[in-house]
Chain A
Amino acid sequence: MKVDVRSLFRHETVLAILAVLTLAVLAHQHEAFFTADNLLNQGRLAAELGLVSLTMTFVIVTGGIDLSVGSILGLGAILVGVFWKNLGLPLPLAMVLTVLVGGLAGLGNGLIITRFRVPPLIATLATLALYRGLAEGISKSRSVRGYPEWFFRLGQGDVAGVPTQVWILAAAALLAAVVLGRTTFGRATYALGANETAARFSGVAVDRTKLLIYTGSGLASGLAAVIFVSRVSTTRSDMGTGLELDAVTAVVLGGTSIFGGRGTIVGTVLGLVLIQALRNGLALAGVKGDGTIVVIGAVLILAILVSNFVGREGDG
């Protein structure tokens, strides 16, 4: 365990240095980059990705993956509108129900993976299509608009000068870091990611842990859906497409091993910061959309290479 922690520490340090360097370079390129206004705005834009990435960390640490988060977000976005307009429920109840349905969708993922022993990649690939199809079918191509003003304070408003969803993201990150790093549940997650059979025979409740983790992933997607609808003031069934890949990128960039057993929330947060900073800073510096994608891909490969190199040194 001691050796593992040391190598983990090194990846996060490398990443932190890389993040600081990137921020410095980008700030130099355009004076509007490192302003409070811009940074807070980026926080607002990254909130949905952030929430999903936090739970994706848990999922990937167990050696699994959840490709359906984008579709659950799309489904959630539609359901906010359906619960509120078509079923006539009060909007706060609709919001809570949406998050719960997200959790249920995640639970569905978990059940398919634990009960039917379907590999997570396949299972969530299937639910990616299923939940997206449900979203499109339920929405019947209508978008729901005309939400009350207070609803937009969640996605477009501020609390004490900081965007509302950034507070939510910060709280979630803190909670996730504590759960993953300091509770037995977190230990169980690492154990089952490192060696599932050994964990099972050591008495770790493997199936229950997995179920909880995938449900958590669904809950995060549901919450992200509510925030997203509030930010763009409408619902569409194609929302969240591609979110899963961005989340996996942030998590893997943060040092979580795709094979499981290693990873921290701090790393994911740093990965998220790096990606969002690159997207924003490069755009401000005049690099066009396609150039930004190339840079992010290069940074990801670079980070993985460094991490592998450092990790090999650390693992006795």
Chain B
Amino acid sequence: MRRVRSVLVLLLAAAAVRAQAAGWTGGDELPTNPLPCQGAAGAEKAKPYDGGKPTNPPNLKGKKITVVDVPKLIGIGYFNATSKGIADAAKELGNVDAKTDGPTQANIDQQITFIDNYITSGVNGILFAANDPVAISPVLKKALGKGIHVVGYDANSEPGAREWFVNQAEFNGIAKSLLDNMAKEIGEDGAFAIVTSTFTTPNQARWISEMSAYAQKCHPKMKWLETVEAQEDNNLSFQQANTLINKYGDQLKGLFGMTSVATPAAAEAVTQANKCGKVAVVGLATPNAMKPYVNKDCVKSVVLWNPVDLGYAAMYVLRAVTDGTLKPGAKEVKAGKLGELKVVNGSEILLGPPFVYNKGNINNFDF
């Protein structure tokens, strides 16, 4: 009986392990486009507009509109920052009443319910960051069908379910930045592991796919040990990072944090395991969360964009779409103090290149 039980336990453990070895199967087979190893990318190829259209939207040019912002979840620094950007833009514009509301867990079922309720309550515009690109699309299409303008940021839905998507940085640009920074710290034959949110979250999945392609192309000798999920939960990210450190011991030279929650958690795990300087932590995070680790030299560089700017840009795009000044086929859009933003990939608006925070500049930011 004991042997049967231990076999059963092993089977259960094997089934319950949420690990992914180097063969990354997330990202749902969308094509990757790795950048050249040296220097910047080439020119973007133009693509026809592929966004959705609202049905008979009311003419609200110049009038006051109510907008709701439904991020992946509320209560984490990153989305507090995008929310601030949206609020700043709303104040500048003067004729927008914007509110942020969302689930307390990065759960797609709950996010759909939130959006559905706001559709019923009659908002004029919806801003969103999707937990799942396909699952969120039916409810967004319903919003478009009711004449509500829909603009996404941070994490995309299917193109036909929203009018525009503000992309913080190109997926391959983020992948290049992350991997180049990691290679600088651990060398061309170091071994690394990745802590992400879930394997099907749209943006993280695409970044990892691009990282996989870029690593094969430009850092082929680096060893990719494992990718684990941590759901944007602080505790879970910390535990997963700890597990990786204990599992691979001295073999693990670097940890990637793919969410703004995972990177500080990984840095904390490395600090507590007394491996600062031995295990490099590179990832996406808000400057405030990483200041203690960067100032202690435990983490050398944090890659991000400015999420406040991201929210700000999204709000301006929504206003431009409502006023009719941003039409399908446009090549650029004016976004307040950010100036002209380029349109790429048909219906995506690019915020700009990723920004690297390090000891030299991190103390200048407060979000």
Q: Which residues in A have some Cβ–Cβ distance to B below 8 Å?
A: 30, 32-33, 37-38, 41, 45, 129-130, 132-134, 136-137, 140-143, 145, 156, 228, 231-234, 236-242, 279-280, 283-284, 286, 288-290, 293
Interface digits, B81-109 against A, CB 8 Å rule (1 contact, 0 not)?
00000000000000000010111110111
Interface digits, B121-145 against A, CB 8 Å rule (1 contact, 0 not)?
1100000000010110110000000
Tell me, rounded to whole Å, the shortest Cβ–Cβ distance linking B262 to chain A: 16
Instruction: Check B116 for interface membership: any CB of A closer than 8 A.
Output: yes
| Residues on the A chain within 8 Å of B109, using CB | 228, 232, 239-240
Q: Identify the closest chain B residue to A276 (Cβ).
A: B113
Among B20-69, those with CB < 8 Å from A are: 20, 25-26, 28
| Residues on the A chain within 8 Å of B153, using CB | none
Q: Select B113's contact among A142, A143, A237, A279, beta carbons within 8 Å.
A: A279
- Max chain A Cβ within 10 angstroms of own Cβ: one of B102, B118, B120: B120
Check if A41 sits within 8 Å of B120, measured CB to CB. yes
Check if B15 sits within 8 Å of A234, measured CB to CB. no
Check if B200 sits within 8 Å of A236, measured CB to CB. yes
- Max chain A Cβ within 10 angstroms of own Cβ: one of B20, B109, B132: B109
Q: Identify the closest chain B residue to A291 (Cβ).
A: B101
Check if B116 sits within 8 Å of A134, measured CB to CB. no
| Residues on the A chain within 8 Å of B132, using CB | 143, 232, 234, 236
- Max chain B Cβ within 10 angstroms of own Cβ: one of A30, A130, A136: A136
Tell me, rounded to whole Å, the shortest Cβ–Cβ distance linking A178 to chain B: 30
Query: How far is it, in angstroms, between the C-alpha of A145 and the C-alpha of B132 when the chains are bound?
Result: 12
Tell me, rounded to whole Å, the shortest Cβ–Cβ distance linking A244 to chain B: 13
Q: Which residues in B have some Cβ–Cβ distance to A below 8 Å?
A: 12, 14-18, 20, 25-26, 28, 74, 99, 101-105, 107-109, 112-114, 116-118, 120-122, 132, 134-135, 137-138, 198-200, 229, 231
Known interface pairs A45-B116, A130-B16, A133-B16. Does A289 touch B138 (Cβ–Cβ under 8 Å)? no
Tell me, rounded to whole Å, the shortest Cβ–Cβ distance linking B87 to chain A: 14
Given contacts A238-B198, A289-B103, 4 further A-B contacts (CB under 8 A): A233-B138, A238-B107, A279-B117, A289-B104
Query: How far is it, in angstroms, between the C-alpha of A228 and the C-alpha of B107 when the chains are bound?
Result: 14
A-B contact pairs, 15 of them (CB 8 A): A133-B18, A134-B16, A136-B18, A141-B20, A143-B134, A231-B138, A232-B135, A233-B138, A234-B132, A236-B132, A238-B198, A239-B108, A284-B121, A286-B121, A290-B104
Q: Select A241's contact among B12, B107, B118, beta carbons within 8 Å.
A: B107
Check if B114 sits within 8 Å of A133, measured CB to CB. no
Tell me, rounded to whole Å, the shortest Cβ–Cβ distance linking B40 to chain A: 31
| Residues on the B chain within 8 Å of A284, using CB | 117, 120-121
The tally of CB-CB contacts under 8 A between chains A and B is 106
Check if B199 sits within 8 Å of A130, measured CB to CB. no
Check if A142 sits within 8 Å of B26, measured CB to CB. yes
Q: Identify the closest chain A residue to B18 (Cβ).
A: A136
Q: Select A142's contact among B12, B28, B114, beta carbons within 8 Å.
A: B28
- Max chain B Cβ within 10 angstroms of own Cβ: one of A134, A231, A234: A234
| Residues on the B chain within 8 Å of A228, using CB | 109
Check if A233 sits within 8 Å of B121, measured CB to CB. no
Check if B117 sits within 8 Å of A283, measured CB to CB. yes
Query: How far is it, in angstroms, between the C-alpha of A212 and the C-alpha of B288 when the chains are bound?
Result: 54
| Residues on the B chain within 8 Å of A132, using CB | 16
Known interface pairs A233-B134, A284-B121. Does A141 touch B103 (Cβ–Cβ under 8 Å)? no
Check if A234 sits within 8 Å of B134, measured CB to CB. yes
Query: How far is it, in angstroms, between the C-alpha of A288 and the C-alpha of B138 when the chains are bound?
Result: 23
| Residues on the A chain within 8 Å of B121, using CB | 30, 32, 283-284, 286
Query: How far is it, in angstroms, between the C-alpha of A231 and the C-alpha of B116 when the chains are bound?
Result: 13
Check if A141 sits within 8 Å of B26, measured CB to CB. yes
Tell me, rounded to whole Å, the shortest Cβ–Cβ distance linking A38 to chain B: 5
Q: Select B114's contact among A30, A141, A143, A289, beta carbons within 8 Å.
A: A289
Check if B28 sits within 8 Å of A143, measured CB to CB. yes
Check if B15 sits within 8 Å of A232, measured CB to CB. no
| Residues on the A chain within 8 Å of B20, using CB | 141
Query: How far is it, in angstroms, between the C-alpha of A141 and the C-alpha of B362 when the chains are bound?
Result: 35
| Residues on the B chain within 8 Å of A33, using CB | 120
Known interface pairs A231-B138, A232-B138, A233-B138. Does A32 touch B120 (Cβ–Cβ under 8 Å)? yes
Tell me, rounded to whole Å, the shortest Cβ–Cβ distance linking B235 to chain A: 15
Tell me, rounded to whole Å, the shortest Cβ–Cβ distance linking B227 to chain A: 9
Check if B135 sits within 8 Å of A280, measured CB to CB. no
Tell me, rounded to whole Å, the shortest Cβ–Cβ distance linking B363 to chain A: 32
| Residues on the A chain within 8 Å of B14, using CB | 137
Check if B135 sits within 8 Å of A140, measured CB to CB. no
Tell me, rounded to whole Å, the shortest Cβ–Cβ distance linking A156 to chain B: 6
Q: Select A234's contact among B17, B122, B135, beta carbons within 8 Å.
A: B135
Tell me, rounded to whole Å, the shortest Cβ–Cβ distance linking A26 to chain B: 12
Tell me, rounded to whole Å, the shortest Cβ–Cβ distance linking B160 to chain A: 13
Tell me, rounded to whole Å, the shortest Cβ–Cβ distance linking A270 to chain B: 21
Query: How far is it, in angstroms, between the C-alpha of A143 and the C-alpha of B120 when the chains are bound?
Result: 29
Check if A156 sits within 8 Å of B107, measured CB to CB. no
Check if A41 sits within 8 Å of B116, measured CB to CB. yes
Check if B199 sits within 8 Å of A289, measured CB to CB. no
Tell me, rounded to whole Å, the shortest Cβ–Cβ distance linking B270 to chain A: 25
Q: Identify the closest chain A residue to B137 (Cβ).
A: A233
Tell me, rounded to whole Å, the shortest Cβ–Cβ distance linking A116 to chain B: 11
| Residues on the A chain within 8 Å of B135, using CB | 232-234, 236
Check if A156 sits within 8 Å of B138, measured CB to CB. yes
Q: Identify the closest chain B residue to A279 (Cβ).
A: B113
Tell me, rounded to whole Å, the shortest Cβ–Cβ distance linking A115 to chain B: 13
Tell me, rounded to whole Å, the shortest Cβ–Cβ distance linking A280 to chain B: 6
Query: How far is it, in angstroms, between the C-alpha of A156 and the C-alpha of B137 when the chains are bound?
Result: 12
| Residues on the A chain within 8 Å of B12, using CB | 130, 133
Known interface pairs A38-B120, A141-B26, A289-B104. Does A130 touch B15 (Cβ–Cβ under 8 Å)? yes
Query: How far is it, in angstroms, between the C-alpha of A132 and the C-alpha of B198 when the chains are bound?
Result: 14
- Max chain A Cβ within 10 angstroms of own Cβ: one of B118, B122, B134: B134
Tell me, rounded to whole Å, the shortest Cβ–Cβ distance linking B121 to chain A: 5
Tell me, rounded to whole Å, the shortest Cβ–Cβ distance linking B72 to chain A: 13
| Residues on the B chain within 8 Å of A293, using CB | 104
Query: How far is it, in angstroms, between the C-alpha of A130 and the C-alpha of B11 when the chains are bound?
Result: 10
| Residues on the A chain within 8 Å of B99, using CB | 288
